[in-house]
Amino acid sequence: MKAKDWNDWRWQLQERLTTLSEINEKISLSEAETQSFTKASESFSFSVTPYYLSLIDPTDADCAIRKQILPREGELIQLPNEEADPLREESYMPVKGVTHRYPDRAIWYVSHVCAVYCRFCTRKRKVSHPNETPNKNEWNLALDYFNQTKNVREVILSGGDPLSLANSQIDFLLEELKKIPHINHVRIHTRYPVTLPMRLEPELCKIMSKHFPIYVVTHFNHPKEVTEESRKAIENLIKLGNAIVLNQSVLLKGINDNAKTLETLHFALVKIGVKPYYLHQCDEVFGSSDFVVPISDGIKIMEELRGFSSGITLPTYVKDLTGGGGKVLLGPNYFLPSESGIHRFKNYKGEIFETKH
């Protein structure tokens, strides 16, 4: 039986499960899971909404939802190639909370909060840490920077989850960004259509519509995440928000690393109005090694999809280069396996980067 407030996002946020005993009441953890939980949740918070938790199959130890949320032993292992900030987001930071790497677009971290903490998160160095909350002064400094920096044509609101902010704050940020003449469009990166779909309520979507066009990039990784609630969230975004909705997934071992699962996901997304945009190679962030799928396997999976599935359903397989080189396309023409296990890539500026996976 679902609670009477199930469809209220405030209730979902209030009722988030954040501790071992809370989660143990709902899905029983194995001895090994209990131990990993205690150790790993110290370095990166645990949180899940009742909604997202309800997608877990309690009888399946390998459930794709379970694996995305439960703290694991592997999180405590740091391989030599892994870093806290593999994409050097903190080094390309002209003002606090803004990463400006590519000339024409910048990411702005406007919230440090997510409803659900994904164990493979690239930003676990800062996401969930209360001292990362941006203050009003930092917002103004970032807005000044965008005003003064004429080559910024796109601002990407990210976090944390930017939709953790209040509707009035989101309205304010979109309004201020839209006032800047050289800003062509605004993008929002949010996982709430997946982890807290009720958040995409009519009131918020109507705010987005006021600031048309808003490009929303969400983050579905598995077909089980495409539920009736998510479908409704996307419908609100498209019909009430006049938003253009894209998806990025992370290729994750044991979760979505086969052509059948991805094909099912991509078709389910296109059916609800979402265009698959990127499939990301897992970043070399500390504690991620047990999620990593070798690039050569990722390429094979994409080769199994290309031609057999509609091009509209196909994302671009990319890697964000460790060391801050930006994204490179992954495919048979971009990547050559090497004997030594070290891979070499040329980025869009012609710079060479070496990576382990």
Ligand X SMILES: *Cc1c(COP(=O)(O)O)cnc(C)c1O
Q: Does 121 bind ligand SF4 (CB under 6 A)?
A: yes
Does the annotation mark 114 as catalytic? yes
- Counting contacts by CB under 6 A, is residue 142 touching ligand SF4? no
Give the span between the Cα atoms of 117 and 200, in whole angstroms. Answer: 19
Q: For this structure, is 67 an active site residue?
A: no
Using CB atoms within 10 A of its CB, is residue 70 exposed (0-12), middle (13-18) or buried (19+)?
A: buried
Active site residue 60: no
CA gap 307, 287 in Å, rounded: 35
Site for ligand X in 147-176 (CB under 6 A): 156
Does residue 301 touch ligand SF4 according to CB under 6 A? no
Catalytic choice (85, 92, 102, 178): 102
CA distances from 294 to 24, 60, 229 (A): 33, 25, 33
Query: Min. distance of Cβ 106 from ligand X in angstroms?
Result: 7
Residue 121 interacts with, from ligand SF4, ligand X, none (CB under 5-8 Å by kind): ligand SF4
> By C-beta, is 192 or 317 nearer to ligand SF4?
192
- d(C-alpha 136, C-alpha 124), whole Å: 23
Among ligand X, ligand SF4, none, partner that 191 touches (CB below 5 to 8 angstroms by kind): ligand SF4
Would you count residue 327 as binding ligand X (CB under 6 A)?
yes
**Nearest of 273, 228, 283 to residue 250 by alpha carbon:** 283
Binding track over 87-116 against ligand X, x by CB under 6 A: x-----------x-xx--x-x---------
Tell me how far apart the alpha carbons of residues 119 and 357 are, in angstroms, rounded to a whole number: 19
**Going by DSSP bridges, is the β-strand pair 105-109/98-99 parallel, antiparallel, or unpaired?**
antiparallel
Q: Which two tokens stand for residue 55?
A: 């997608």
Three-state SS at 246: strand
Catalytic positions are 101-102, 105, 114, 118, 121, 123, 283, 320, 327
**Where on the chain is the footprint of ligand SF4 (CB under 6 A)?**
114, 117-118, 121, 123, 127, 159-161, 191
Residues contributing to the site for ligand X (CB under 6 A): 87, 99, 101-102, 105, 107, 156, 320, 327
